[in-house]
Chain A
Amino acid sequence: MNDASPPAPLDIAALREEFPILRQTVRGRRLVFLDSAASAQKPRVVIAAMVQAMETQYANVHRGLHWMSERTTDAYEGTRDAVARLINAPDRHEIVFTRNSTEAINLVAHSYGRGVLRPGQAVVVSEMEHHSNLVPWQMLRDAHGIELRVAPVSDAGELDMAALERLLADRRVGLVAVTHMSNVLGSYTPAQRIAALAHDHGARVLFDGSQAIVHRRVDVQAIDADFYVFTGHKLYGPTGIGVLWGRRALLDAMPPFLGGGDMISSVTWERSTWADLPHKFEAGTPAIIEAIGLGAAIGFVESVGYDAIAAHEAALTEHALARLSVIEGVHVLGRAQDRGGVVSFTLDRAHAHDVATLLDRQGIAVRAGQHCAEPLMRRFGVDSTTRASFGVYTTGDEIDQLADTLARVREFFA
Protein backbone atom coordinates (compact mmCIF):
# COMPACT_ATOMS: atom_id res chain seq x y z
CA MET A 1 0.00 0.00 0.00
CA ASN A 2 1.61 3.16 -1.17
CA ASP A 3 -1.03 5.63 -0.09
CA ALA A 4 -0.50 7.46 3.15
CA SER A 5 -4.17 7.44 4.08
CA PRO A 6 -5.79 4.09 4.76
CA PRO A 7 -8.08 2.90 1.98
CA ALA A 8 -11.81 3.30 2.40
CA PRO A 9 -13.24 0.04 3.74
CA LEU A 10 -14.98 -2.15 1.19
CA ASP A 11 -18.74 -2.12 0.99
CA ILE A 12 -18.88 -5.89 1.27
CA ALA A 13 -22.63 -6.17 1.04
CA ALA A 14 -22.64 -4.33 -2.27
CA LEU A 15 -19.63 -6.26 -3.49
CA ARG A 16 -21.25 -9.58 -2.70
CA GLU A 17 -24.21 -8.57 -4.83
CA GLU A 18 -21.83 -8.67 -7.77
CA PHE A 19 -21.28 -12.41 -7.25
CA PRO A 20 -24.52 -14.20 -8.11
CA ILE A 21 -23.27 -17.54 -6.80
CA LEU A 22 -23.02 -16.25 -3.26
CA ARG A 23 -26.82 -16.28 -3.12
CA GLN A 24 -26.84 -20.05 -3.55
CA THR A 25 -27.67 -22.32 -0.68
CA VAL A 26 -25.85 -25.58 -0.05
CA ARG A 27 -27.68 -28.31 1.85
CA GLY A 28 -30.24 -25.74 2.83
CA ARG A 29 -27.72 -23.26 4.17
CA ARG A 30 -26.22 -20.11 2.76
CA LEU A 31 -22.95 -20.92 1.02
CA VAL A 32 -19.86 -19.97 3.01
CA PHE A 33 -17.20 -20.17 0.36
CA LEU A 34 -13.75 -20.34 1.91
CA ASP A 35 -11.99 -22.00 -1.02
CA SER A 36 -11.07 -19.05 -3.21
CA ALA A 37 -7.41 -20.04 -3.35
CA ALA A 38 -8.42 -23.10 -5.36
CA SER A 39 -10.54 -20.99 -7.67
CA ALA A 40 -12.34 -17.73 -7.06
CA GLN A 41 -16.00 -17.00 -7.79
CA LYS A 42 -16.89 -14.79 -10.72
CA PRO A 43 -18.41 -11.32 -10.60
CA ARG A 44 -21.29 -10.42 -12.87
CA VAL A 45 -19.09 -8.19 -15.05
CA VAL A 46 -16.94 -11.18 -16.01
CA ILE A 47 -19.91 -13.38 -16.82
CA ALA A 48 -21.55 -10.56 -18.77
CA ALA A 49 -18.44 -9.72 -20.77
CA MET A 50 -18.10 -13.32 -21.92
CA VAL A 51 -21.76 -13.69 -22.81
CA GLN A 52 -21.80 -10.34 -24.57
CA ALA A 53 -18.76 -11.22 -26.62
CA MET A 54 -20.43 -14.40 -27.84
CA GLU A 55 -23.76 -12.73 -28.45
CA THR A 56 -22.61 -9.63 -30.24
CA GLN A 57 -19.13 -9.79 -31.68
CA TYR A 58 -17.70 -13.26 -31.91
CA ALA A 59 -15.22 -14.53 -34.52
CA ASN A 60 -11.69 -15.87 -34.56
CA VAL A 61 -8.89 -13.43 -33.82
CA HIS A 62 -6.03 -12.22 -36.01
CA ARG A 63 -7.51 -14.04 -39.00
CA GLY A 64 -10.52 -12.31 -40.46
CA LEU A 65 -10.60 -9.13 -42.43
CA HIS A 66 -14.19 -8.67 -41.41
CA TRP A 67 -15.90 -6.56 -38.81
CA MET A 68 -16.56 -9.36 -36.32
CA SER A 69 -13.00 -10.57 -36.32
CA GLU A 70 -11.67 -7.07 -35.92
CA ARG A 71 -13.93 -6.37 -32.94
CA THR A 72 -13.01 -9.67 -31.31
CA THR A 73 -9.33 -9.09 -31.92
CA ASP A 74 -9.63 -5.64 -30.34
CA ALA A 75 -11.25 -7.11 -27.25
CA TYR A 76 -8.72 -9.95 -27.02
CA GLU A 77 -5.78 -7.59 -27.44
CA GLY A 78 -7.43 -5.19 -25.02
CA THR A 79 -6.91 -7.76 -22.29
CA ARG A 80 -3.21 -7.82 -23.14
CA ASP A 81 -3.12 -4.09 -22.47
CA ALA A 82 -5.05 -4.61 -19.25
CA VAL A 83 -2.57 -7.25 -18.06
CA ALA A 84 0.39 -5.03 -18.95
CA ARG A 85 -1.16 -2.21 -16.92
CA LEU A 86 -2.04 -4.55 -14.03
CA ILE A 87 1.50 -5.80 -13.51
CA ASN A 88 3.25 -2.69 -14.86
CA ALA A 89 4.94 -4.52 -17.71
CA PRO A 90 7.01 -2.13 -19.81
CA ASP A 91 5.87 -3.58 -23.12
CA ARG A 92 2.52 -5.19 -24.02
CA HIS A 93 4.30 -7.60 -26.37
CA GLU A 94 5.83 -9.25 -23.34
CA ILE A 95 2.41 -10.56 -22.24
CA VAL A 96 1.82 -14.12 -23.46
CA PHE A 97 -1.55 -15.78 -22.96
CA THR A 98 -1.48 -19.39 -21.79
CA ARG A 99 -4.11 -21.76 -20.44
CA ASN A 100 -3.12 -21.24 -16.81
CA SER A 101 -0.08 -20.86 -14.55
CA THR A 102 0.85 -24.46 -15.09
CA GLU A 103 1.15 -24.00 -18.83
CA ALA A 104 3.04 -20.73 -18.42
CA ILE A 105 5.62 -22.44 -16.20
CA ASN A 106 5.88 -25.38 -18.59
CA LEU A 107 6.44 -22.93 -21.42
CA VAL A 108 9.40 -21.40 -19.58
CA ALA A 109 10.72 -24.79 -18.49
CA HIS A 110 10.60 -25.96 -22.07
CA SER A 111 11.66 -22.93 -24.07
CA TYR A 112 13.98 -21.22 -21.63
CA GLY A 113 14.99 -24.45 -19.91
CA ARG A 114 15.98 -26.35 -23.02
CA GLY A 115 16.62 -23.44 -25.33
CA VAL A 116 18.76 -21.24 -23.12
CA LEU A 117 19.89 -23.13 -20.02
CA ARG A 118 22.79 -25.52 -20.57
CA PRO A 119 23.31 -28.97 -19.06
CA GLY A 120 25.26 -28.54 -15.85
CA GLN A 121 23.41 -25.40 -14.88
CA ALA A 122 20.93 -25.48 -12.03
CA VAL A 123 17.39 -24.32 -11.29
CA VAL A 124 16.36 -23.41 -7.75
CA VAL A 125 12.84 -23.87 -6.44
CA SER A 126 11.63 -23.55 -2.86
CA GLU A 127 10.20 -26.09 -0.46
CA MET A 128 6.79 -24.44 -0.67
CA GLU A 129 6.11 -24.76 -4.37
CA HIS A 130 2.85 -25.92 -5.81
CA HIS A 131 3.50 -29.04 -7.89
CA SER A 132 3.06 -26.92 -11.01
CA ASN A 133 6.24 -25.04 -10.17
CA LEU A 134 8.12 -28.20 -9.29
CA VAL A 135 7.25 -31.00 -11.68
CA PRO A 136 8.14 -29.07 -14.89
CA TRP A 137 11.62 -28.46 -13.42
CA GLN A 138 12.00 -32.12 -12.48
CA MET A 139 11.12 -32.99 -16.06
CA LEU A 140 13.72 -30.50 -17.29
CA ARG A 141 16.27 -31.96 -14.90
CA ASP A 142 15.69 -35.47 -16.18
CA ALA A 143 15.55 -34.57 -19.86
CA HIS A 144 18.20 -31.91 -20.10
CA GLY A 145 20.81 -32.52 -17.41
CA ILE A 146 19.81 -29.57 -15.28
CA GLU A 147 20.43 -29.81 -11.56
CA LEU A 148 17.43 -29.04 -9.35
CA ARG A 149 18.10 -27.34 -6.02
CA VAL A 150 15.58 -26.73 -3.28
CA ALA A 151 15.64 -23.67 -1.04
CA PRO A 152 14.27 -24.49 2.43
CA VAL A 153 11.54 -22.68 4.32
CA SER A 154 11.74 -21.97 8.05
CA ASP A 155 9.37 -23.39 10.64
CA ALA A 156 7.55 -20.07 10.46
CA GLY A 157 6.93 -20.77 6.80
CA GLU A 158 9.27 -18.14 5.39
CA LEU A 159 11.78 -18.64 2.63
CA ASP A 160 15.26 -19.08 4.12
CA MET A 161 17.13 -16.29 2.34
CA ALA A 162 20.54 -17.24 3.75
CA ALA A 163 20.12 -20.77 2.46
CA LEU A 164 19.02 -19.42 -0.91
CA GLU A 165 22.17 -17.34 -1.07
CA ARG A 166 24.28 -20.42 -0.36
CA LEU A 167 22.53 -22.30 -3.16
CA LEU A 168 23.46 -19.47 -5.53
CA ALA A 169 27.07 -19.13 -4.39
CA ASP A 170 28.70 -21.30 -7.06
CA ARG A 171 27.05 -19.21 -9.80
CA ARG A 172 25.86 -22.31 -11.61
CA VAL A 173 22.23 -21.44 -11.09
CA GLY A 174 20.59 -20.21 -14.28
CA LEU A 175 17.09 -19.66 -12.92
CA VAL A 176 15.41 -19.23 -9.56
CA ALA A 177 11.75 -20.28 -9.89
CA VAL A 178 9.80 -19.60 -6.70
CA THR A 179 6.34 -18.81 -5.54
CA HIS A 180 5.44 -15.23 -4.74
CA MET A 181 2.89 -16.48 -2.21
CA SER A 182 2.39 -20.00 -0.86
CA ASN A 183 -1.00 -21.55 -1.55
CA VAL A 184 -0.68 -23.53 1.69
CA LEU A 185 1.06 -21.29 4.22
CA GLY A 186 -0.11 -17.97 2.85
CA SER A 187 3.46 -16.63 3.13
CA TYR A 188 4.60 -13.99 0.68
CA THR A 189 8.18 -14.28 -0.43
CA PRO A 190 10.36 -11.16 -0.56
CA ALA A 191 10.31 -10.98 -4.34
CA GLN A 192 12.47 -7.92 -4.71
CA ARG A 193 15.20 -9.32 -2.48
CA ILE A 194 15.04 -12.68 -4.21
CA ALA A 195 15.40 -11.04 -7.62
CA ALA A 196 18.33 -8.93 -6.46
CA LEU A 197 20.06 -11.95 -4.97
CA ALA A 198 19.49 -14.03 -8.09
CA HIS A 199 20.78 -11.27 -10.34
CA ASP A 200 23.87 -10.76 -8.17
CA HIS A 201 24.68 -14.40 -8.79
CA GLY A 202 24.05 -14.36 -12.52
CA ALA A 203 20.67 -16.08 -12.35
CA ARG A 204 17.28 -15.11 -13.75
CA VAL A 205 14.14 -15.29 -11.66
CA LEU A 206 10.59 -16.52 -12.26
CA PHE A 207 7.78 -15.88 -9.82
CA ASP A 208 4.69 -18.03 -9.58
CA GLY A 209 2.19 -15.29 -8.83
CA SER A 210 -0.92 -17.52 -8.93
CA GLN A 211 -1.84 -16.60 -5.36
CA ALA A 212 0.10 -13.39 -4.85
CA ILE A 213 -1.61 -11.29 -7.50
CA VAL A 214 -5.01 -12.02 -6.06
CA HIS A 215 -4.32 -10.21 -2.82
CA ARG A 216 -1.86 -7.48 -3.66
CA ARG A 217 -0.65 -5.18 -6.41
CA VAL A 218 2.22 -6.69 -8.36
CA ASP A 219 4.75 -4.52 -10.18
CA VAL A 220 7.15 -6.64 -12.20
CA GLN A 221 9.48 -3.71 -12.77
CA ALA A 222 9.64 -2.75 -9.11
CA ILE A 223 10.35 -6.40 -8.24
CA ASP A 224 12.85 -6.55 -11.09
CA ALA A 225 11.48 -9.96 -12.09
CA ASP A 226 12.48 -11.75 -15.29
CA PHE A 227 9.36 -13.92 -15.61
CA TYR A 228 6.04 -13.67 -13.79
CA VAL A 229 3.10 -16.05 -14.21
CA PHE A 230 -0.47 -16.11 -12.98
CA THR A 231 -3.76 -17.84 -13.70
CA GLY A 232 -7.05 -16.13 -14.54
CA HIS A 233 -9.48 -18.25 -12.57
CA LYS A 234 -8.04 -17.35 -9.18
CA LEU A 235 -8.25 -13.64 -10.04
CA TYR A 236 -12.06 -13.71 -10.42
CA GLY A 237 -11.69 -14.51 -14.11
CA PRO A 238 -12.62 -17.62 -16.08
CA THR A 239 -10.74 -20.89 -16.32
CA GLY A 240 -8.64 -21.63 -19.40
CA ILE A 241 -6.68 -18.39 -19.46
CA GLY A 242 -3.36 -17.61 -17.80
CA VAL A 243 -0.49 -15.24 -18.30
CA LEU A 244 3.24 -15.41 -18.77
CA TRP A 245 5.10 -12.15 -18.60
CA GLY A 246 8.78 -12.20 -19.52
CA ARG A 247 11.39 -9.63 -20.42
CA ARG A 248 11.43 -9.10 -24.15
CA ALA A 249 15.10 -9.97 -24.53
CA LEU A 250 14.55 -13.30 -22.79
CA LEU A 251 11.40 -14.17 -24.71
CA ASP A 252 13.10 -13.20 -27.97
CA ALA A 253 15.98 -15.57 -27.26
CA MET A 254 13.66 -18.48 -26.51
CA PRO A 255 12.49 -20.97 -29.13
CA PRO A 256 8.72 -21.48 -29.49
CA PHE A 257 6.90 -23.86 -27.20
CA LEU A 258 4.11 -25.19 -29.43
CA GLY A 259 4.09 -25.04 -33.21
CA GLY A 260 1.11 -24.30 -35.41
CA GLY A 261 -1.07 -21.52 -36.72
CA ASP A 262 -0.66 -17.92 -35.58
CA MET A 263 2.88 -18.43 -34.30
CA ILE A 264 4.68 -18.30 -37.64
CA SER A 265 5.79 -15.56 -39.93
CA SER A 266 6.30 -17.71 -43.01
CA VAL A 267 6.08 -21.42 -43.73
CA THR A 268 7.64 -23.36 -46.59
CA TRP A 269 8.32 -27.07 -46.86
CA GLU A 270 11.90 -26.46 -45.84
CA ARG A 271 11.43 -24.20 -42.90
CA SER A 272 9.26 -21.85 -40.95
CA THR A 273 10.10 -18.58 -39.32
CA TRP A 274 8.53 -17.38 -36.13
CA ALA A 275 6.08 -14.59 -35.62
CA ASP A 276 7.05 -11.69 -33.40
CA LEU A 277 6.18 -11.59 -29.74
CA PRO A 278 3.82 -12.46 -28.25
CA HIS A 279 2.39 -14.52 -31.10
CA LYS A 280 5.46 -16.72 -31.27
CA PHE A 281 4.20 -18.29 -28.04
CA GLU A 282 0.48 -18.34 -28.85
CA ALA A 283 0.09 -21.21 -31.30
CA GLY A 284 -3.41 -22.05 -32.43
CA THR A 285 -6.73 -20.38 -31.74
CA PRO A 286 -6.45 -19.00 -28.22
CA ALA A 287 -9.02 -18.90 -25.44
CA ILE A 288 -10.70 -15.84 -26.91
CA ILE A 289 -13.77 -15.62 -24.74
CA GLU A 290 -11.76 -16.44 -21.64
CA ALA A 291 -9.24 -13.70 -22.45
CA ILE A 292 -12.11 -11.25 -22.73
CA GLY A 293 -13.39 -12.50 -19.38
CA LEU A 294 -9.96 -11.99 -17.85
CA GLY A 295 -9.97 -8.42 -19.11
CA ALA A 296 -13.25 -7.85 -17.28
CA ALA A 297 -11.86 -9.50 -14.14
CA ILE A 298 -8.89 -7.16 -14.17
CA GLY A 299 -11.26 -4.24 -14.58
CA PHE A 300 -13.18 -5.55 -11.56
CA VAL A 301 -10.07 -5.86 -9.41
CA GLU A 302 -8.92 -2.39 -10.40
CA SER A 303 -12.31 -0.90 -9.65
CA VAL A 304 -12.29 -2.39 -6.17
CA GLY A 305 -8.64 -1.38 -5.81
CA TYR A 306 -5.72 -3.37 -4.48
CA ASP A 307 -5.31 -1.11 -1.45
CA ALA A 308 -8.83 -1.90 -0.32
CA ILE A 309 -8.48 -5.60 -1.17
CA ALA A 310 -5.21 -5.94 0.70
CA ALA A 311 -6.55 -4.11 3.75
CA HIS A 312 -9.76 -6.17 3.80
CA GLU A 313 -7.94 -9.47 3.49
CA ALA A 314 -5.27 -8.56 6.00
CA ALA A 315 -8.03 -7.85 8.50
CA LEU A 316 -9.78 -11.13 7.68
CA THR A 317 -6.57 -13.12 7.99
CA GLU A 318 -5.74 -11.55 11.32
CA HIS A 319 -9.26 -12.29 12.53
CA ALA A 320 -9.04 -15.89 11.31
CA LEU A 321 -5.68 -16.46 12.99
CA ALA A 322 -6.98 -14.99 16.23
CA ARG A 323 -10.14 -17.09 16.21
CA LEU A 324 -8.53 -20.37 15.12
CA SER A 325 -5.54 -20.18 17.42
CA VAL A 326 -7.73 -20.24 20.53
CA ILE A 327 -9.57 -23.42 19.53
CA GLU A 328 -7.98 -26.26 21.45
CA GLY A 329 -6.31 -28.78 19.16
CA VAL A 330 -6.12 -26.47 16.15
CA HIS A 331 -2.61 -25.88 14.81
CA VAL A 332 -2.06 -23.30 12.11
CA LEU A 333 0.74 -24.12 9.67
CA GLY A 334 3.26 -21.34 9.29
CA ARG A 335 3.51 -18.03 11.06
CA ALA A 336 4.92 -15.84 8.34
CA GLN A 337 5.02 -12.14 9.07
CA ASP A 338 4.06 -11.23 5.55
CA ARG A 339 1.04 -13.21 4.47
CA GLY A 340 -2.05 -13.22 2.28
CA GLY A 341 -5.55 -14.58 2.74
CA VAL A 342 -4.81 -18.29 3.14
CA VAL A 343 -4.78 -20.22 6.42
CA SER A 344 -4.00 -23.94 6.68
CA PHE A 345 -4.43 -25.87 9.86
CA THR A 346 -4.67 -29.30 11.41
CA LEU A 347 -7.04 -30.42 14.14
CA ASP A 348 -5.90 -33.01 16.68
CA ARG A 349 -7.66 -36.38 16.41
CA ALA A 350 -9.46 -35.42 13.20
CA HIS A 351 -8.23 -35.92 9.68
CA ALA A 352 -8.59 -32.99 7.28
CA HIS A 353 -11.07 -34.89 5.13
CA ASP A 354 -13.31 -35.60 8.05
CA VAL A 355 -13.09 -31.94 9.06
CA ALA A 356 -14.00 -30.84 5.53
CA THR A 357 -16.95 -33.23 5.35
CA LEU A 358 -18.35 -31.90 8.60
CA LEU A 359 -17.83 -28.28 7.58
CA ASP A 360 -19.46 -28.98 4.24
CA ARG A 361 -22.56 -30.20 6.05
CA GLN A 362 -22.88 -26.71 7.46
CA GLY A 363 -22.48 -25.18 4.01
CA ILE A 364 -18.84 -24.21 4.60
CA ALA A 365 -16.56 -24.98 1.64
CA VAL A 366 -12.88 -25.45 2.48
CA ARG A 367 -10.14 -27.48 0.89
CA ALA A 368 -8.61 -30.52 2.56
CA GLY A 369 -5.64 -32.56 1.51
CA GLN A 370 -2.13 -31.86 0.32
CA HIS A 371 -2.95 -28.81 -1.81
CA CYS A 372 -0.68 -29.97 -4.64
CA ALA A 373 2.28 -29.41 -2.34
CA GLU A 374 3.24 -32.85 -1.11
CA PRO A 375 6.89 -32.03 -0.33
CA LEU A 376 5.77 -29.09 1.80
CA MET A 377 3.39 -31.33 3.75
CA ARG A 378 6.31 -33.65 4.43
CA ARG A 379 8.47 -30.69 5.42
CA PHE A 380 5.93 -29.79 8.10
CA GLY A 381 5.40 -33.42 9.10
CA VAL A 382 1.69 -33.55 8.27
CA ASP A 383 -0.24 -35.75 5.81
CA SER A 384 -2.82 -33.18 5.00
CA THR A 385 -4.32 -29.94 6.20
CA THR A 386 -7.60 -28.11 6.05
CA ARG A 387 -7.30 -24.79 4.27
CA ALA A 388 -9.55 -21.76 4.48
CA SER A 389 -8.88 -19.05 1.93
CA PHE A 390 -10.41 -15.65 1.45
CA GLY A 391 -11.47 -13.37 -1.36
CA VAL A 392 -12.84 -9.86 -1.71
CA TYR A 393 -16.30 -11.16 -0.88
CA THR A 394 -15.34 -12.98 2.33
CA THR A 395 -16.79 -11.58 5.54
CA GLY A 396 -15.68 -11.67 9.15
CA ASP A 397 -19.00 -13.31 9.89
CA GLU A 398 -18.08 -16.24 7.65
CA ILE A 399 -14.82 -16.67 9.53
CA ASP A 400 -16.77 -16.68 12.78
CA GLN A 401 -18.97 -19.42 11.35
CA LEU A 402 -15.89 -21.41 10.45
CA ALA A 403 -14.42 -21.02 13.93
CA ASP A 404 -17.69 -21.78 15.72
CA THR A 405 -18.28 -24.85 13.60
CA LEU A 406 -14.71 -26.05 14.05
CA ALA A 407 -15.16 -25.97 17.79
CA ARG A 408 -18.10 -28.34 17.29
CA VAL A 409 -16.12 -30.52 14.89
CA ARG A 410 -13.53 -30.88 17.59
CA GLU A 411 -16.15 -32.11 20.05
CA PHE A 412 -17.46 -34.56 17.47
CA PHE A 413 -14.07 -36.23 17.17
CA ALA A 414 -13.02 -35.74 20.80
Chain B
Amino acid sequence: MFEDLRDLYQEVILDHGRRPRHGARLAAFDATAKGDNPMCGDRVQVFVRRDGAGRIAEVGFEARGCAISIASADLMAETVAGLSAGEAQALAARFRDMARSGEGAGDDAAIERLRPLAGVHEFPSRVKCATLPWHALLAALDGKGEASSE
Protein backbone atom coordinates (compact mmCIF):
# COMPACT_ATOMS: atom_id res chain seq x y z
CA MET B 1 0.00 0.00 0.00
CA PHE B 2 2.77 2.43 0.86
CA GLU B 3 5.24 1.49 -1.86
CA ASP B 4 5.65 5.11 -2.91
CA LEU B 5 6.74 5.96 0.63
CA ARG B 6 9.69 3.61 0.61
CA ASP B 7 11.83 6.51 -0.56
CA LEU B 8 11.05 8.37 2.62
CA TYR B 9 10.92 5.40 4.95
CA GLN B 10 13.87 3.40 3.78
CA GLU B 11 14.80 0.32 5.78
CA VAL B 12 17.75 2.17 7.32
CA ILE B 13 15.43 4.87 8.61
CA LEU B 14 12.85 2.50 9.99
CA ASP B 15 15.62 0.51 11.64
CA HIS B 16 17.44 3.46 13.22
CA GLY B 17 14.13 5.13 14.03
CA ARG B 18 13.06 2.08 15.98
CA ARG B 19 16.38 1.07 17.51
CA PRO B 20 18.72 4.03 17.70
CA ARG B 21 22.27 3.05 18.62
CA HIS B 22 23.15 6.39 20.15
CA GLY B 23 19.84 7.26 21.75
CA ALA B 24 21.03 7.86 25.28
CA ARG B 25 22.49 10.60 27.41
CA LEU B 26 26.30 10.24 27.66
CA ALA B 27 27.62 9.45 31.12
CA ALA B 28 30.16 12.23 30.69
CA PHE B 29 29.90 15.00 28.14
CA ASP B 30 31.52 18.36 27.37
CA ALA B 31 28.67 20.07 25.57
CA THR B 32 24.92 19.69 25.23
CA ALA B 33 22.04 21.53 23.60
CA LYS B 34 18.33 21.07 23.12
CA GLY B 35 16.40 21.39 19.93
CA ASP B 36 12.72 22.04 19.92
CA ASN B 37 10.10 22.14 17.23
CA PRO B 38 7.16 23.76 18.97
CA MET B 39 4.82 23.26 16.03
CA CYS B 40 4.88 19.50 16.29
CA GLY B 41 6.34 18.79 19.70
CA ASP B 42 9.54 17.12 18.51
CA ARG B 43 12.30 17.57 21.02
CA VAL B 44 15.91 16.42 21.10
CA GLN B 45 18.83 16.92 23.43
CA VAL B 46 22.26 16.23 22.03
CA PHE B 47 25.33 15.41 24.17
CA VAL B 48 28.87 15.75 22.88
CA ARG B 49 32.05 14.32 24.38
CA ARG B 50 35.33 15.64 23.00
CA ASP B 51 38.68 13.86 22.89
CA GLY B 52 42.02 15.28 24.04
CA ALA B 53 42.51 17.06 20.71
CA GLY B 54 39.09 18.70 20.93
CA ARG B 55 37.54 16.55 18.22
CA ILE B 56 34.11 14.95 18.65
CA ALA B 57 34.72 11.63 20.38
CA GLU B 58 31.11 10.59 20.87
CA VAL B 59 27.59 11.93 20.45
CA GLY B 60 24.48 10.70 22.23
CA PHE B 61 20.95 12.03 22.29
CA GLU B 62 17.62 11.85 24.03
CA ALA B 63 14.69 12.54 21.78
CA ARG B 64 11.02 12.24 21.31
CA GLY B 65 9.83 12.51 17.82
CA CYS B 66 9.00 10.71 14.62
CA ALA B 67 10.97 7.96 12.92
CA ILE B 68 12.65 10.51 10.65
CA SER B 69 13.95 12.69 13.47
CA ILE B 70 15.18 9.78 15.56
CA ALA B 71 16.89 8.12 12.62
CA SER B 72 18.43 11.42 11.60
CA ALA B 73 19.78 11.99 15.10
CA ASP B 74 21.19 8.49 15.19
CA LEU B 75 22.90 8.66 11.80
CA MET B 76 24.22 12.09 12.73
CA ALA B 77 25.76 10.73 15.92
CA GLU B 78 27.40 7.99 13.91
CA THR B 79 28.79 10.21 11.15
CA VAL B 80 30.15 13.07 13.24
CA ALA B 81 32.22 10.90 15.59
CA GLY B 82 35.88 11.73 14.96
CA LEU B 83 35.20 15.08 13.26
CA SER B 84 36.43 18.46 14.38
CA ALA B 85 33.79 21.11 15.12
CA GLY B 86 34.51 22.78 11.77
CA GLU B 87 34.15 19.50 9.89
CA ALA B 88 30.88 18.76 11.67
CA GLN B 89 29.57 22.19 10.73
CA ALA B 90 30.48 21.63 7.11
CA LEU B 91 28.77 18.24 7.09
CA ALA B 92 25.70 19.80 8.70
CA ALA B 93 25.50 22.39 5.94
CA ARG B 94 25.78 19.75 3.24
CA PHE B 95 23.19 17.60 4.96
CA ARG B 96 20.79 20.52 5.16
CA ASP B 97 21.19 21.18 1.45
CA MET B 98 20.57 17.55 0.67
CA ALA B 99 17.47 17.40 2.88
CA ARG B 100 16.05 20.43 1.12
CA SER B 101 16.96 19.62 -2.47
CA GLY B 102 17.27 15.84 -2.43
CA GLU B 103 20.56 15.82 -4.23
CA GLY B 104 24.22 16.68 -4.48
CA ALA B 105 26.33 17.19 -1.39
CA GLY B 106 29.24 15.04 -2.58
CA ASP B 107 29.93 11.31 -2.41
CA ASP B 108 32.14 10.78 0.61
CA ALA B 109 31.27 8.01 3.05
CA ALA B 110 29.60 10.32 5.58
CA ILE B 111 27.15 11.89 3.17
CA GLU B 112 26.41 8.50 1.61
CA ARG B 113 25.55 7.20 5.05
CA LEU B 114 23.11 10.11 5.45
CA ARG B 115 21.66 9.84 1.96
CA PRO B 116 18.64 7.69 2.93
CA LEU B 117 17.31 10.85 4.56
CA ALA B 118 17.41 12.77 1.26
CA GLY B 119 13.87 11.48 0.61
CA VAL B 120 12.46 14.11 2.99
CA HIS B 121 12.89 16.82 0.38
CA GLU B 122 9.66 15.63 -1.21
CA PHE B 123 7.85 16.24 2.07
CA PRO B 124 8.30 19.91 2.90
CA SER B 125 6.60 19.54 6.27
CA ARG B 126 9.05 16.82 7.26
CA VAL B 127 12.37 18.45 6.31
CA LYS B 128 12.68 20.01 9.74
CA CYS B 129 12.23 16.62 11.37
CA ALA B 130 15.49 15.58 9.72
CA THR B 131 17.39 18.81 10.37
CA LEU B 132 16.37 19.37 14.01
CA PRO B 133 19.09 17.14 15.54
CA TRP B 134 21.72 18.90 13.44
CA HIS B 135 20.55 22.29 14.69
CA ALA B 136 20.92 20.98 18.22
CA LEU B 137 24.40 19.62 17.50
CA LEU B 138 25.55 22.95 16.07
CA ALA B 139 24.13 24.77 19.09
CA ALA B 140 26.01 22.40 21.39
CA LEU B 141 29.26 22.94 19.50
CA ASP B 142 28.67 26.71 19.68
CA GLY B 143 27.98 26.46 23.39
CA LYS B 144 24.48 27.87 22.88
CA GLY B 145 22.37 25.34 24.68
CA GLU B 146 19.17 25.90 22.68
CA ALA B 147 18.29 25.53 19.04
CA SER B 148 15.08 25.96 17.18
CA SER B 149 14.06 24.06 14.12
CA GLU B 150 14.03 27.11 11.85
Residue ID in chain A nearest B8 by CB atoms: A357
- Is there contact, CB below 8 Å, between B67 and A413? yes
Closest-CB distance, A38 to chain B (whole angstroms): 13
Bound-state Cα–Cα, A352 to B9, Å:
15
Is A149 located at the chain interface by the 8 A CB criterion?
no
Is A389 located at the chain interface by the 8 A CB criterion?
no
- Is there contact, CB below 8 Å, between A384 and B126? no
Q: Given A351-B67, A353-B126, A383-B64, does the pair A358, B2 have CB atoms closer than 8 Å?
A: yes
Interface residues of B in 70-104 (CB under 8 A from A): none
Closest-CB distance, B117 to chain A (whole angstroms): 14
Q: Which residues of B contact A408 (CB under 8 A)?
A: 1-2
- Is there contact, CB below 8 Å, between A368 and B18? no
Closest-CB distance, A55 to chain B (whole angstroms): 35
Bound-state Cα–Cα, A350 to B66, Å:
7
Closest-CB distance, A235 to chain B (whole angstroms): 25
Bound-state Cα–Cα, A377 to B42, Å:
13
- Is there contact, CB below 8 Å, between A361 and B2? yes
- Is there contact, CB below 8 Å, between A374 and B41? yes
Q: Which residues of B contact A351 (CB under 8 A)?
A: 65-67
Q: Which residues of A contact B42 (CB under 8 A)?
A: 353
Q: Chain A at the B interface: mostly helix, strand, loop or mixed? A: helix
Is A362 located at the chain interface by the 8 A CB criterion?
yes
Q: Which residues of A contact B1 (CB under 8 A)?
A: 362, 405, 408, 412
- Is there contact, CB below 8 Å, between A412 and B65? no
Is B108 located at the chain interface by the 8 A CB criterion?
no
Bound-state Cα–Cα, A362 to B4, Å:
10
Q: Which residues of A contact B5 (CB under 8 A)?
A: 357-358, 361, 412
Is B129 located at the chain interface by the 8 A CB criterion?
yes
Chain A 377-414 near chain B by CB (<8 Å), digits 1 or 0: 10000011000000000000000000001001100110
- Is there contact, CB below 8 Å, between A377 and B8? no
Bound-state Cα–Cα, A358 to B2, Å:
7
Residue ID in chain A nearest B6 by CB atoms: A412
Residues of B within 8 A of A (CB): 1-2, 4-5, 8-9, 14, 18, 39-43, 64-68, 123, 126, 129
Q: A353-B42, A368-B40, A413-B18 are in contact. List 11 more A-B contacts (CB 8 A).
A: A350-B67, A357-B123, A357-B126, A358-B5, A369-B40, A369-B41, A383-B41, A384-B40, A409-B2, A412-B9, A413-B14
Closest 5 CB pairs of A and B: A351-B66, A353-B66, A370-B41, A383-B64, A369-B40
Residues of A within 8 A of B (CB): 349-354, 357-358, 361-362, 368-370, 374, 377, 383-384, 405, 408-409, 412-413
* A and B contact pairs by CB, cutoff 8 A, 26 listed: A349-B18, A351-B66, A353-B40, A353-B66, A353-B68, A353-B126, A353-B129, A354-B9, A357-B8, A357-B123, A361-B4, A361-B5, A368-B40, A369-B39, A369-B40, A370-B41, A374-B41, A377-B41, A383-B41, A383-B64, A383-B65, A408-B1, A409-B2, A412-B2, A412-B5, A413-B18
